[in-house]
Structure 1
Amino acid sequence: MNQKHQEDLAHIRSMMERSSRFISLSGLSGVFAGLSALIGGLYVYQLFKINGIEYFTDEHILLTGNLVSELFWIGVLILAFAFAFGIFFTIRKSRKYNLPIWTSATKKMLFNLAVPLAAGGIFCLALMYHGSYGFVAPSTLIFYGLALINAEKYTFSDVKYLGFCELLLGCISLFYIGYGLIFWILGFGILHILYGLVMFKKYK
Protein backbone atom coordinates (compact mmCIF):
# COMPACT_ATOMS: atom_id res chain seq x y z
CA MET A 1 0.00 0.00 0.00
CA ASN A 2 2.81 2.39 0.95
CA GLN A 3 4.58 1.56 -2.31
CA LYS A 4 1.45 2.51 -4.30
CA HIS A 5 1.23 5.82 -2.44
CA GLN A 6 4.87 6.52 -3.21
CA GLU A 7 4.32 5.75 -6.89
CA ASP A 8 1.27 8.04 -6.95
CA LEU A 9 3.23 10.83 -5.29
CA ALA A 10 6.09 10.37 -7.74
CA HIS A 11 3.63 10.54 -10.63
CA ILE A 12 2.00 13.71 -9.25
CA ARG A 13 5.43 15.28 -8.69
CA SER A 14 6.41 14.44 -12.27
CA MET A 15 3.20 16.00 -13.63
CA MET A 16 3.74 19.15 -11.59
CA GLU A 17 7.31 19.43 -12.83
CA ARG A 18 6.20 19.05 -16.44
CA SER A 19 3.60 21.78 -16.04
CA SER A 20 5.83 24.26 -14.19
CA ARG A 21 9.22 23.69 -15.83
CA PHE A 22 10.59 23.41 -19.34
CA ILE A 23 12.23 19.96 -19.24
CA SER A 24 12.60 19.24 -22.95
CA LEU A 25 16.01 20.89 -22.98
CA SER A 26 18.65 18.36 -24.08
CA GLY A 27 22.25 18.24 -22.88
CA LEU A 28 23.29 17.70 -26.49
CA SER A 29 22.10 21.24 -27.23
CA GLY A 30 24.80 22.53 -24.89
CA VAL A 31 27.44 20.25 -26.39
CA PHE A 32 26.79 21.35 -29.96
CA ALA A 33 26.40 25.01 -28.97
CA GLY A 34 29.79 24.73 -27.28
CA LEU A 35 31.33 23.09 -30.34
CA SER A 36 29.94 25.89 -32.52
CA ALA A 37 31.50 28.52 -30.24
CA LEU A 38 34.78 26.59 -30.08
CA ILE A 39 35.05 26.33 -33.88
CA GLY A 40 34.01 29.98 -34.24
CA GLY A 41 36.61 31.10 -31.70
CA LEU A 42 39.39 29.17 -33.43
CA TYR A 43 38.30 30.64 -36.76
CA VAL A 44 38.52 34.16 -35.28
CA TYR A 45 42.05 33.39 -34.06
CA GLN A 46 43.03 32.35 -37.59
CA LEU A 47 41.31 35.45 -38.95
CA PHE A 48 43.49 37.59 -36.69
CA LYS A 49 46.60 35.89 -38.06
CA ILE A 50 45.47 36.45 -41.65
CA ASN A 51 45.07 40.15 -40.84
CA GLY A 52 48.58 40.31 -39.40
CA ILE A 53 47.50 40.29 -35.75
CA GLU A 54 49.50 38.07 -33.39
CA TYR A 55 46.91 37.62 -30.67
CA PHE A 56 49.25 36.44 -27.89
CA THR A 57 52.14 38.80 -28.58
CA ASP A 58 50.63 42.08 -29.78
CA GLU A 59 50.05 44.34 -26.77
CA HIS A 60 47.68 46.67 -28.58
CA ILE A 61 45.37 45.12 -31.16
CA LEU A 62 43.88 47.61 -33.60
CA LEU A 63 40.69 46.42 -35.25
CA THR A 64 39.70 47.84 -38.61
CA GLY A 65 36.09 48.56 -39.48
CA ASN A 66 35.96 45.62 -41.89
CA LEU A 67 37.38 43.21 -39.32
CA VAL A 68 34.91 44.38 -36.66
CA SER A 69 32.05 43.85 -39.11
CA GLU A 70 33.32 40.37 -39.92
CA LEU A 71 33.65 39.49 -36.23
CA PHE A 72 30.10 40.68 -35.64
CA TRP A 73 28.67 38.44 -38.35
CA ILE A 74 30.72 35.49 -37.14
CA GLY A 75 29.11 35.99 -33.73
CA VAL A 76 25.66 36.13 -35.30
CA LEU A 77 26.39 32.92 -37.24
CA ILE A 78 27.56 31.10 -34.10
CA LEU A 79 24.40 32.22 -32.29
CA ALA A 80 22.26 30.97 -35.20
CA PHE A 81 23.95 27.57 -35.16
CA ALA A 82 23.58 27.26 -31.37
CA PHE A 83 19.90 28.25 -31.61
CA ALA A 84 19.28 25.76 -34.44
CA PHE A 85 20.94 22.93 -32.51
CA GLY A 86 18.88 23.85 -29.44
CA ILE A 87 15.62 23.64 -31.40
CA PHE A 88 16.63 20.38 -33.11
CA PHE A 89 17.61 18.50 -29.95
CA THR A 90 14.68 19.92 -27.97
CA ILE A 91 12.20 18.66 -30.57
CA ARG A 92 13.98 15.30 -30.71
CA LYS A 93 13.87 14.85 -26.94
CA SER A 94 10.24 15.98 -26.66
CA ARG A 95 9.18 13.45 -29.30
CA LYS A 96 11.21 10.68 -27.71
CA TYR A 97 9.68 11.17 -24.25
CA ASN A 98 6.32 12.54 -25.42
CA LEU A 99 6.89 15.89 -23.73
CA PRO A 100 5.01 19.08 -24.65
CA ILE A 101 7.21 21.90 -25.94
CA TRP A 102 5.17 25.09 -26.16
CA THR A 103 3.78 25.39 -22.63
CA SER A 104 3.33 28.28 -20.21
CA ALA A 105 6.62 27.23 -18.58
CA THR A 106 8.36 27.47 -21.97
CA LYS A 107 7.01 30.99 -22.53
CA LYS A 108 8.07 32.11 -19.05
CA MET A 109 11.53 30.62 -19.46
CA LEU A 110 12.05 32.28 -22.85
CA PHE A 111 10.85 35.63 -21.52
CA ASN A 112 13.14 35.48 -18.48
CA LEU A 113 16.01 34.46 -20.74
CA ALA A 114 15.30 37.06 -23.41
CA VAL A 115 15.14 40.18 -21.22
CA PRO A 116 18.78 40.07 -19.95
CA LEU A 117 19.97 38.87 -23.37
CA ALA A 118 18.22 41.74 -25.16
CA ALA A 119 19.61 44.27 -22.69
CA GLY A 120 23.08 42.73 -23.06
CA GLY A 121 22.83 42.79 -26.84
CA ILE A 122 21.97 46.50 -26.87
CA PHE A 123 24.75 47.20 -24.37
CA CYS A 124 27.31 45.34 -26.55
CA LEU A 125 26.15 47.22 -29.66
CA ALA A 126 26.65 50.48 -27.76
CA LEU A 127 30.17 49.38 -26.77
CA MET A 128 30.96 48.63 -30.41
CA TYR A 129 29.45 51.94 -31.51
CA HIS A 130 31.78 53.80 -29.12
CA GLY A 131 34.79 51.68 -30.07
CA SER A 132 35.12 49.90 -26.70
CA TYR A 133 35.67 46.51 -28.31
CA GLY A 134 37.66 45.09 -25.41
CA PHE A 135 34.59 45.05 -23.15
CA VAL A 136 32.33 43.22 -25.60
CA ALA A 137 33.45 39.65 -24.76
CA PRO A 138 33.22 40.15 -20.95
CA SER A 139 29.80 41.77 -21.36
CA THR A 140 28.42 38.88 -23.44
CA LEU A 141 29.54 36.41 -20.75
CA ILE A 142 28.10 38.50 -17.91
CA PHE A 143 24.70 39.12 -19.49
CA TYR A 144 24.45 35.50 -20.67
CA GLY A 145 25.18 34.30 -17.14
CA LEU A 146 22.52 36.63 -15.74
CA ALA A 147 20.03 35.37 -18.34
CA LEU A 148 20.62 31.73 -17.37
CA ILE A 149 20.28 32.49 -13.67
CA ASN A 150 17.09 34.44 -14.36
CA ALA A 151 15.55 31.61 -16.44
CA GLU A 152 16.56 28.79 -14.08
CA LYS A 153 13.31 28.74 -12.13
CA TYR A 154 11.41 27.63 -15.24
CA THR A 155 13.75 24.83 -16.37
CA PHE A 156 16.36 22.47 -14.88
CA SER A 157 17.86 23.97 -11.73
CA ASP A 158 21.32 22.89 -12.96
CA VAL A 159 21.21 25.76 -15.48
CA LYS A 160 21.99 28.25 -12.73
CA TYR A 161 25.39 26.65 -12.12
CA LEU A 162 26.33 27.28 -15.74
CA GLY A 163 24.99 30.81 -15.31
CA PHE A 164 27.15 31.50 -12.26
CA CYS A 165 30.22 30.11 -14.03
CA GLU A 166 29.60 32.34 -17.06
CA LEU A 167 29.01 35.34 -14.79
CA LEU A 168 32.20 34.70 -12.81
CA LEU A 169 34.25 34.19 -15.96
CA GLY A 170 32.88 37.42 -17.43
CA CYS A 171 33.73 39.38 -14.29
CA ILE A 172 37.29 38.00 -14.27
CA SER A 173 37.75 38.84 -17.95
CA LEU A 174 36.93 42.50 -17.20
CA PHE A 175 40.39 42.70 -15.61
CA TYR A 176 42.13 41.06 -18.57
CA ILE A 177 41.00 43.23 -21.46
CA GLY A 178 42.66 42.04 -24.65
CA TYR A 179 42.19 38.37 -23.82
CA GLY A 180 38.46 38.36 -24.46
CA LEU A 181 38.69 35.68 -27.15
CA ILE A 182 40.24 33.24 -24.67
CA PHE A 183 37.55 33.86 -22.07
CA TRP A 184 34.87 33.74 -24.77
CA ILE A 185 36.08 30.30 -25.93
CA LEU A 186 36.22 29.09 -22.33
CA GLY A 187 32.75 30.39 -21.48
CA PHE A 188 30.72 29.69 -24.59
CA GLY A 189 32.80 26.76 -25.82
CA ILE A 190 34.39 24.65 -23.08
CA LEU A 191 31.85 25.37 -20.31
CA HIS A 192 28.93 24.64 -22.64
CA ILE A 193 30.43 21.32 -23.73
CA LEU A 194 31.14 20.22 -20.14
CA TYR A 195 27.70 21.34 -18.96
CA GLY A 196 25.99 19.61 -21.89
CA LEU A 197 27.79 16.31 -21.23
CA VAL A 198 26.85 16.41 -17.54
CA MET A 199 23.22 17.22 -18.36
CA PHE A 200 23.03 14.53 -21.03
CA LYS A 201 24.37 11.90 -18.64
CA LYS A 202 22.12 13.06 -15.78
CA TYR A 203 18.83 13.43 -17.69
CA LYS A 204 19.16 11.01 -20.61
Structure 2
Amino acid sequence: MESKNYQDELAHIRQMMERSSRFISLSGLSGVIAGIVALLGSVYVYFIFQREGINYFDGQRNIYTPSLAKELFFVAIMVLILAISSGYIFTARKSKKQNLRVWDATTKRLLINFAIPLVAGGFFCLALWYHHYFPLIAPSMLIFYGLALINAERYTLSDVKYLGICEVILGIIALFWLGWGLIFWAIGFGFLHIFYGTMMYRKYD
Protein backbone atom coordinates (compact mmCIF):
# COMPACT_ATOMS: atom_id res chain seq x y z
CA MET A 1 0.00 0.00 0.00
CA GLU A 2 2.81 2.40 0.93
CA SER A 3 4.62 1.46 -2.29
CA LYS A 4 1.55 2.36 -4.34
CA ASN A 5 1.19 5.72 -2.57
CA TYR A 6 4.88 6.40 -3.19
CA GLN A 7 4.47 5.68 -6.90
CA ASP A 8 1.37 7.89 -7.06
CA GLU A 9 3.28 10.73 -5.43
CA LEU A 10 6.15 10.34 -7.86
CA ALA A 11 3.72 10.35 -10.78
CA HIS A 12 2.07 13.49 -9.42
CA ILE A 13 5.43 15.23 -8.97
CA ARG A 14 6.49 14.24 -12.45
CA GLN A 15 3.22 15.60 -13.86
CA MET A 16 3.67 18.89 -12.00
CA MET A 17 7.22 19.25 -13.32
CA GLU A 18 6.01 18.54 -16.83
CA ARG A 19 3.33 21.18 -16.56
CA SER A 20 5.76 23.76 -15.21
CA SER A 21 8.47 23.21 -17.84
CA ARG A 22 6.46 22.43 -20.98
CA PHE A 23 3.42 23.90 -22.68
CA ILE A 24 1.30 20.73 -22.84
CA SER A 25 -2.02 22.35 -23.77
CA LEU A 26 -1.21 22.44 -27.47
CA SER A 27 -4.23 20.93 -29.19
CA GLY A 28 -3.93 18.43 -32.01
CA LEU A 29 -7.10 19.87 -33.50
CA SER A 30 -5.30 23.16 -34.08
CA GLY A 31 -2.85 21.32 -36.34
CA VAL A 32 -5.68 19.64 -38.24
CA ILE A 33 -7.49 22.94 -38.80
CA ALA A 34 -4.25 24.66 -39.82
CA GLY A 35 -3.67 21.90 -42.37
CA ILE A 36 -7.17 22.21 -43.79
CA VAL A 37 -6.80 25.99 -44.06
CA ALA A 38 -3.46 25.54 -45.87
CA LEU A 39 -5.01 23.09 -48.34
CA LEU A 40 -7.90 25.46 -49.02
CA GLY A 41 -5.37 28.23 -49.58
CA SER A 42 -3.45 26.01 -52.01
CA VAL A 43 -6.62 25.28 -53.98
CA TYR A 44 -7.41 29.00 -54.08
CA VAL A 45 -3.91 29.75 -55.40
CA TYR A 46 -4.36 27.09 -58.08
CA PHE A 47 -7.49 28.87 -59.30
CA ILE A 48 -5.55 32.15 -59.31
CA PHE A 49 -3.05 30.47 -61.65
CA GLN A 50 -5.91 29.29 -63.85
CA ARG A 51 -7.27 32.84 -63.98
CA GLU A 52 -3.84 34.12 -65.06
CA GLY A 53 -3.63 31.49 -67.80
CA ILE A 54 -0.94 29.47 -66.02
CA ASN A 55 -1.26 25.71 -66.36
CA TYR A 56 0.56 24.74 -63.19
CA PHE A 57 0.80 21.03 -63.98
CA ASP A 58 2.14 21.27 -67.54
CA GLY A 59 5.71 20.79 -66.32
CA GLN A 60 6.90 24.17 -67.57
CA ARG A 61 8.90 26.68 -65.51
CA ASN A 62 6.33 29.38 -64.79
CA ILE A 63 7.19 33.06 -64.55
CA TYR A 64 5.30 35.07 -61.93
CA THR A 65 4.78 38.79 -62.37
CA PRO A 66 5.31 41.07 -59.34
CA SER A 67 1.55 41.71 -59.12
CA LEU A 68 0.80 37.97 -59.07
CA ALA A 69 3.51 37.37 -56.47
CA LYS A 70 1.99 40.13 -54.34
CA GLU A 71 -1.42 38.46 -54.51
CA LEU A 72 0.08 35.08 -53.58
CA PHE A 73 1.89 36.70 -50.67
CA PHE A 74 -1.41 38.17 -49.45
CA VAL A 75 -3.05 34.73 -49.61
CA ALA A 76 -0.18 33.24 -47.58
CA ILE A 77 -0.61 35.94 -44.92
CA MET A 78 -4.37 35.26 -44.71
CA VAL A 79 -3.74 31.52 -44.36
CA LEU A 80 -1.23 32.24 -41.58
CA ILE A 81 -3.70 34.47 -39.70
CA LEU A 82 -6.51 31.92 -39.95
CA ALA A 83 -4.22 29.07 -38.85
CA ILE A 84 -2.92 31.01 -35.83
CA SER A 85 -6.43 32.08 -34.83
CA SER A 86 -7.80 28.54 -34.98
CA GLY A 87 -4.76 27.26 -33.11
CA TYR A 88 -5.32 29.73 -30.29
CA ILE A 89 -9.03 28.88 -30.03
CA PHE A 90 -8.51 25.12 -29.74
CA THR A 91 -5.49 25.45 -27.46
CA ALA A 92 -7.34 27.84 -25.14
CA ARG A 93 -10.26 25.43 -25.02
CA LYS A 94 -7.97 22.53 -24.10
CA SER A 95 -6.23 24.63 -21.42
CA LYS A 96 -9.60 25.47 -19.89
CA LYS A 97 -10.53 21.79 -19.71
CA GLN A 98 -7.23 20.98 -18.00
CA ASN A 99 -7.48 23.97 -15.64
CA LEU A 100 -4.21 25.35 -16.98
CA ARG A 101 -3.23 28.90 -17.83
CA VAL A 102 -2.73 29.64 -21.52
CA TRP A 103 -0.28 32.48 -20.86
CA ASP A 104 2.55 31.90 -18.39
CA ALA A 105 6.35 31.88 -18.29
CA THR A 106 6.54 28.60 -20.23
CA THR A 107 4.29 30.00 -22.97
CA LYS A 108 6.53 33.06 -23.25
CA ARG A 109 9.65 30.89 -23.61
CA LEU A 110 7.87 28.75 -26.20
CA LEU A 111 6.82 31.74 -28.29
CA ILE A 112 10.25 33.37 -28.11
CA ASN A 113 12.06 30.22 -29.23
CA PHE A 114 9.47 29.65 -31.95
CA ALA A 115 9.50 33.25 -33.15
CA ILE A 116 13.25 33.75 -33.57
CA PRO A 117 13.74 31.38 -36.56
CA LEU A 118 10.25 32.21 -37.87
CA VAL A 119 10.78 35.97 -37.90
CA ALA A 120 14.24 35.56 -39.44
CA GLY A 121 12.69 33.34 -42.11
CA GLY A 122 9.94 35.87 -42.69
CA PHE A 123 12.44 38.64 -43.43
CA PHE A 124 14.45 36.26 -45.61
CA CYS A 125 11.33 35.45 -47.65
CA LEU A 126 10.52 39.16 -47.93
CA ALA A 127 14.02 39.73 -49.31
CA LEU A 128 13.47 36.93 -51.84
CA TRP A 129 10.17 38.52 -52.85
CA TYR A 130 11.79 41.96 -53.10
CA HIS A 131 14.51 40.63 -55.42
CA HIS A 132 11.97 38.57 -57.45
CA TYR A 133 13.37 35.18 -56.42
CA PHE A 134 9.84 33.86 -56.19
CA PRO A 135 10.52 30.11 -56.69
CA LEU A 136 12.73 30.08 -53.56
CA ILE A 137 10.04 31.46 -51.24
CA ALA A 138 8.01 28.27 -50.67
CA PRO A 139 11.06 26.08 -49.88
CA SER A 140 12.43 28.77 -47.56
CA MET A 141 9.11 29.01 -45.71
CA LEU A 142 9.12 25.27 -45.10
CA ILE A 143 12.73 25.22 -43.91
CA PHE A 144 12.46 28.14 -41.50
CA TYR A 145 9.10 26.96 -40.19
CA GLY A 146 10.61 23.54 -39.53
CA LEU A 147 13.56 25.11 -37.73
CA ALA A 148 11.14 27.15 -35.60
CA LEU A 149 9.30 23.99 -34.56
CA ILE A 150 12.54 22.21 -33.72
CA ASN A 151 13.75 25.19 -31.70
CA ALA A 152 10.48 25.36 -29.72
CA GLU A 153 10.22 21.62 -29.03
CA ARG A 154 11.93 21.79 -25.63
CA TYR A 155 9.01 23.84 -24.28
CA THR A 156 6.13 21.81 -25.68
CA LEU A 157 5.22 18.31 -26.87
CA SER A 158 8.16 16.33 -28.26
CA ASP A 159 6.15 15.34 -31.35
CA VAL A 160 6.53 18.91 -32.60
CA LYS A 161 10.23 18.25 -33.23
CA TYR A 162 9.48 15.45 -35.69
CA LEU A 163 7.02 17.63 -37.56
CA GLY A 164 9.76 20.26 -37.78
CA ILE A 165 12.28 17.76 -39.13
CA CYS A 166 9.81 16.67 -41.81
CA GLU A 167 9.20 20.31 -42.78
CA VAL A 168 12.94 21.01 -43.10
CA ILE A 169 13.53 17.89 -45.22
CA LEU A 170 10.58 18.74 -47.45
CA GLY A 171 11.85 22.29 -47.88
CA ILE A 172 15.33 21.08 -48.85
CA ILE A 173 13.83 18.72 -51.43
CA ALA A 174 11.72 21.60 -52.77
CA LEU A 175 14.92 23.59 -53.39
CA PHE A 176 15.81 21.06 -56.09
CA TRP A 177 12.32 21.13 -57.64
CA LEU A 178 11.84 24.85 -58.12
CA GLY A 179 8.56 25.79 -59.74
CA TRP A 180 6.59 23.20 -57.78
CA GLY A 181 6.44 25.22 -54.59
CA LEU A 182 2.65 25.07 -54.37
CA ILE A 183 2.73 21.27 -54.23
CA PHE A 184 5.41 21.18 -51.53
CA TRP A 185 3.65 23.98 -49.66
CA ALA A 186 0.39 22.00 -49.68
CA ILE A 187 2.19 18.85 -48.48
CA GLY A 188 4.17 20.60 -45.74
CA PHE A 189 1.61 23.02 -44.35
CA GLY A 190 -1.43 20.99 -45.33
CA PHE A 191 -1.08 17.21 -45.23
CA LEU A 192 1.74 17.07 -42.65
CA HIS A 193 -0.21 19.31 -40.28
CA ILE A 194 -3.32 17.16 -40.65
CA PHE A 195 -1.33 13.95 -40.12
CA TYR A 196 0.57 15.16 -37.04
CA GLY A 197 -2.46 17.00 -35.68
CA THR A 198 -4.55 13.84 -35.87
CA MET A 199 -1.79 11.81 -34.25
CA MET A 200 -1.34 14.31 -31.43
CA TYR A 201 -5.10 14.55 -30.88
CA ARG A 202 -5.36 10.78 -30.43
CA LYS A 203 -2.30 10.71 -28.20
CA TYR A 204 -2.84 13.71 -25.92
CA ASP A 205 -6.35 15.20 -26.28
Structure 1 ranges of 4+ moved more than 6 A: none
Number of paired residues? Answer: 204
- State the secondary structure of the residue aligned to 1:18: helix
Q: What is the Cα-based RMSD across aligned positions, in Å?
A: 0.7
Q: Distance in 1 between matches of 2:67 and 2:138?
A: 18
> Taking structure 1 as the reference length, what is the TM-score of the superposition?
0.98
Q: Distance in 2 between matches of 1:60 and 1:104?
A: 48
**Are the aligned partners of 1:19 and 1:103 in contact in 2 as well (CA < 8 Å)?**
no
Residue deviations 1:175-198 (CA, integer Å, cap 9, x gap):
000001000000000000000000
**Are the aligned partners of 2:22 and 2:157 in contact in 1 as well (CA < 8 Å)?**
yes
What letter matches 2:56 in structure 1?
A: Y
What letter matches 2:119 in structure 1?
A: A
Aligned to 1:176: 177
**Are the aligned partners of 1:29 and 1:86 in contact in 2 as well (CA < 8 Å)?**
yes
What letter matches 2:171 in structure 1?
A: G
Aligned to 2:106: 105
Identity of aligned residues (%): 58
How far is 1:60 from its partner? 2.5
Aligned to 1:35: 36
How far is 1:59 from its partner? 1.4
What letter matches 2:117 in structure 1?
A: P
Deviates more, 1:56-65 or 1:95-104: 56-65
What letter matches 2:147 in structure 1?
A: L
**Are the aligned partners of 1:137 and 1:183 in contact in 2 as well (CA < 8 Å)?**
yes
Aligned to 1:5: 6
Deviates more, 1:49-58 or 1:188-197: 49-58
How far is 1:66 from its partner? 1.9
What letter matches 1:168 in structure 2?
A: I
> Taking structure 2 as the reference length, what is the TM-score of the superposition?
0.98
**Are the aligned partners of 1:120 and 1:140 in contact in 2 as well (CA < 8 Å)?**
yes
Superposed, 1:1-204 pairs within 5 Å as 1-57=2-58, 59-204=60-205
- State the secondary structure of the residue aligned to 1:56: helix
Task: Give 5+ residue unaligned stretches, structure 1.
Answer: none
Task: Give 5+ residue unaligned stretches, structure 2.
Answer: none
